[in-house]
Structure 1
């Protein structure tokens, strides 16, 4: 394995700040979110120009001497390094990064600029493929929702006829890839109290297929919806989306929810039409997991 020279992170910084002000931020600065967030275990690292800064208090700032460093190379390395793994200040779903310890103790491997540029190109190709897969999945999910709406009858039936709901992540494991068969429903968070009050007991606002990075994050702020035997998870996904649009309420109980009535014929038509779409969604999710793992392993080898 090639051994690159390594420098202490602090030695390549020209400026850093724990408390941001608008006048301090430049487009090519690196911003690291102070807390890991609620739906993933990774540290958020971005260029300032790619971040919509609504709250400067949420980020640390790093400004790097770019004479020997491709900034995109450094960002990819930091994402793979995941500072929250080694420099966490507080535990829990909103773990906070120990910023000063991170910049004091982190070593950055530095191949020459030509090699850095090749690494960035490889990472960008992987990222582009992941984005394409996401775009395809979004389109297929939207097509499914349109079809669901067209086939739905006027009468209602209990939601419990097609799915079960649970607050437990115990049966959802990446090893069995069950996350692709389940839908994650999250409750609203209060922007004003983010980082101070984890759960804002408000409206259920979103639903999507449960991804591998979300499997370890499940308390009272999430509900997992699982399709019953013989029911397409994509059908349950569309039904859940429809519920959230039409039955929006401050206190939703899944036991009391109803969905549009489907005859056996219309449900069969939905399943036959969307079956290949659902398998494409599954394959794209699986491919993205593998691509992301490859990218992280690739950067950690440096």
Structure 2
């Protein structure tokens, strides 16, 4: 692929996640993303910590790439009586770091399910995170919950867009809509339309047909996920944020990280332009 051609045609609402480049530092990710002609990226809090927020902010200015989203460790041990002081301090540090690099959103997992009843977990999580959500809001940052496949139950008790919406309303958080994890849900279109104000961040990828283990993501537009239709639903509902490409797994490694990102950027840019965005 001609990367310069792809760069010339990049749409301003396209973002490329640092997770697309697992071996690169945050600074190097920003340089590569800028080289693809993309003006936005998301980074993990761990990658930002490795090089420091000042270095990330400087790289963003140098390459014209905004860090729109980072992760944050609002993942807690919900066991009654658990000592979570260090976890709360880390969550605050992640929020401060996100503000330092200019991110407007952070997204997180919840921590594992402790109680058999889902609602008890939700209540415990809401109590722990209330002050953190307020702290983030004071810095102009929205906190978003990411639903994941149930195979991540050791890290998260939210495994559907529907449940993320329930917990989001309970905690004052938004939702990070990772289409890879939720595209098969029966009421996805209706719930997007009815709850678009809670969608803080959108992640896109495709799925490699026939794969039976995770991660099995594919170049966007080259798999079985109806990415085009989901993007259309989000836009029709009034979503105004970025579309963050998150690519990982054997098929991405085989294709090449930069090549997979470039192909996905070009595909998504064409789609958004075609849809009149």
Q: TM-score band (shorter)?
A: under 0.3
Larger gyration radius, structure 1 or structure 2? 1
Bigger fraction of residues in strand: 1
TM-score, scaled relative to structure 2: 0.23
TM-score, scaled relative to structure 1: 0.22
